């Protein structure tokens, strides 16, 4: 089984002093996701929560929306020529009657840990019809003060980051700021898939009362994953992309970027932010 971290020899130079010592690094290995035995996608990920990652990926692609649509998720034996199980290939078997997506979903290309969209034929193929429309009723209302506290809570929960300094993180919070779940991975989209996959397997989809916080930027893909899971508010400590803002505005998602301390930018869905009487146009 792959490890979350690995040790490598490194040469450390500090103020002219040179020492050799082992360093702890975040592990990165490929994961091939198969659907009913057919290769579907390959992503570079940090080993761990692989079944949740596969399930979350299928949620984000609109293939499944509930745990009873999955018959099984297993590691494939004999994943290499020598017949050794590398635990780097998982096969998701859909439940009887669940339609298998058309071949247009397949990504028979290498997908890097920084971009889960590589290999999509077009942006139109990414605009998957959401199984769970963003429909938080009554609407979620979150104060800027509460939002400002969330990055610190996420950072405090990043156990592997403390050892490696090399992982992205994604977390789900309640509307009162309670940390519900947190996942780490070399790929920010993988971390979100792990969150969504665990929520699916626990019967918690749609996540209509949750806040999704990511440790990096808010790309189109992360906004898509939030929408597909029914999340009403996505916050990021860094910048969003223009396409992420467009998708948020079209879908009703609240998108917050540059969430650092008491500062933040609200790019879409400002009705969920309890601004009080101090808000004004700039």
Its pTM stands at 0.85
| pLDDT score recorded for residue 265 | 97
Q: Is-catalytic flag, 118?
A: no
Predicted confidence at residue 106, as pLDDT, reads 54
- Give residue 236's pLDDT: 96
Kindly state the average pLDDT of the residues 233-242.
96
Residue 8: the pLDDT is: 77
pLDDT exceeds cutoff 60 at 117: no
What's residue 125's pLDDT? Answer: 47
Residue-level pLDDT at 165: 53
Q: What is the predicted pLDDT for the residue at 163?
A: 54
SS in 3 state form for the chain? CCCCEEEEEEEEEECCEEEEEEEEEECCEEEEEEECCEEEEEEEECCCCHHHHHHHHHHHCCCCCCHHHEEEEEECCCCCCCCCCCCCEEEEEECCCCCCCCHHHCCCCCECCCCCCCCCCCHHHCCCCCCCCCCCCCCCCECHHHHHHHHHHHHHCCHHHHHHCCCEEEEEEECCCCEEEEEEECCHHHHHHHHHHHHHHCCCCCCCCEEEEECCCECHHHHHHHHHCCCCEEEECCCECHHHHHHHHHHCCEEEEEEECCEEEEEECHHHECCCCCCCCC
Residue 256: C-alpha distances to residues 30, 38, 222, 246 (Å): 31, 38, 12, 13
* More reliable by pLDDT, 107 or 17: 17
Kindly name the residue from 25, 76, 115, 274 that is annotated as catalytic: 115
Confidence grade of residue 137 (pLDDT, cut at 50, 70, 90)? confident
């Amino acid at each position: 089984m792959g490890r979350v971290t690995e040790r490598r020899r490194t040469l450390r130079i500090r103020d002219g002093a040179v020492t050799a010592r082992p360093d702890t690094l975040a592990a990165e290995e490929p994961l091939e996701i198969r659907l009913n035995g057919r290769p579907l996608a390959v992503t570079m990920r940090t080993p761990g929560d692989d079944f949740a990652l596969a399930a979350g990926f299928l949620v984000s692609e609109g293939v499944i929306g509930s745990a009873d649509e999955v018959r099984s998720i297993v590691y494939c034996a004999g994943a290499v020529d020598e017949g050794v199980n590398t635990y780097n290939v998982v096969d998701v078997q859909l439940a009887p009657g669940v339609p298998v997506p058309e071949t247009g979903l397949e990504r028979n290309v290498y997908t890097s840990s920084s971009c889960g969209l590589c290999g999509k034929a077009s942006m139109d193929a990414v605009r998957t019809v959401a199984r769970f429309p963003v429909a938080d009723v009554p609407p979620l209302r979150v104060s800027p003060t509460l939002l400002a506290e969330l990055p610190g809570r996420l950072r405090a929960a990043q156990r592997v980051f403390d050892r490696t300094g090399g992982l992205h993180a994604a977390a789900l919070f309640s509307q009162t700021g309670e940390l519900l779940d947190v996942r780490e991975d070399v790929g920010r989209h993988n971390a979100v898939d792990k969150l969504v996959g665990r929520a699916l397997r626990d019967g918690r989809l749609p996540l209509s009362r949750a806040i999704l916080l990511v440790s990096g930027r808010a790309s189109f893909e992360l906004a898509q994953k939030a929408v597909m899971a029914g999340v009403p508010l996505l916050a990021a400590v860094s910048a969003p992309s223009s396409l992420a803002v467009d998708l948020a505005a079209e879908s009703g998602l609240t998108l917050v970027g540059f969430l650092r301390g008491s500062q933040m930018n609200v790019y879409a869905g400002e009705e969920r932010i309890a601004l009080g009487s101090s808000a004004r146009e700039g």
